[in-house]
Structure 1
Amino acid sequence: MKRVWEKILVWLGLLLQFALIFIYGVIAPFMNDDSFKSEIKDSIKEEVSSGKLSNADINSIVSHLNEWIIYLIGLAIIVAAVALITALIINKLPKTAGVIFILLAIAAVLSLNFVATLFWLIAGIMLIVRRNKQTKHKARA
């Protein structure tokens, strides 16, 4: 069975995942810049004008942004690598690939890639549900 639609969904998800890794990679160097941090602090102060957040809380949020972007880059790279390997075995092990893509969809949500999540979830369900076509062989006499 060719499984064309599953492959299209999987490769579109991979393309989006690599785009996300690129975007995170572009954003990461700015997380250590002091002017960028001060702009984020100012925008948080403007958004939360009720005064419930103290300056210490805002400083804590901004300092953790660098850690979060590194976490997101690492998770996105791991998800992309597993998805790439699994995309290559779709025809050989479709049920296993389907389960892996459903698990990757869950992990992609954690890396904030919601569109790839949707694509991989649909592809995983299609890989599990669709059956291989049975070919009937006629015995020649």
Structure 2
Amino acid sequence: MTAFEQAVKTLKRNGYKTTGKRQRILEVLYKNNKYMTAKEVQDRLKKMFPGISPDTIYRNLHTFVELSVVEQTELNGEKLFRSNCETHGHHHHFICTECGNSEELDMCPLEQLQEQLPGCEVTAHRFELFGRCSNCLAS
């Protein structure tokens, strides 16, 4: 079963209808496999759904994040979304600020940082690197 098919199955299992719009939003994210803004997703869907509203896009993206079928991050105050990675387990990303492509990082600095927080309990964290990928630097 592909990651896209698994995402659709997760929607159904959680009581969500798999409408054409929901499937197309997921398709855009899973086919592009990079971080995208809600506006970029909307632009890719305009031909098929000319009247699709930003609210519809945001509402579905946030539902997908809650169901863990889509990942979300933030850059310069704007939320970015992408399909879930094929990598299972804890990992982080380098995200290209020019093209949106990402590279998975298999190390996490939390272990070293926890040593500096004696007596504290970290309940959540996020670690991402932003910059320009080798393809964007070459062009």
Shorter-chain TM-score above 0.5? no
Larger relative helix fraction? 1
Higher relative contact order (CA 8 A, sep 6+): 1
Larger relative strand fraction? 2
**What is the TM-score of this pair, normalised by structure 2?**
0.31
**What is the TM-score of this pair, normalised by structure 1?**
0.31
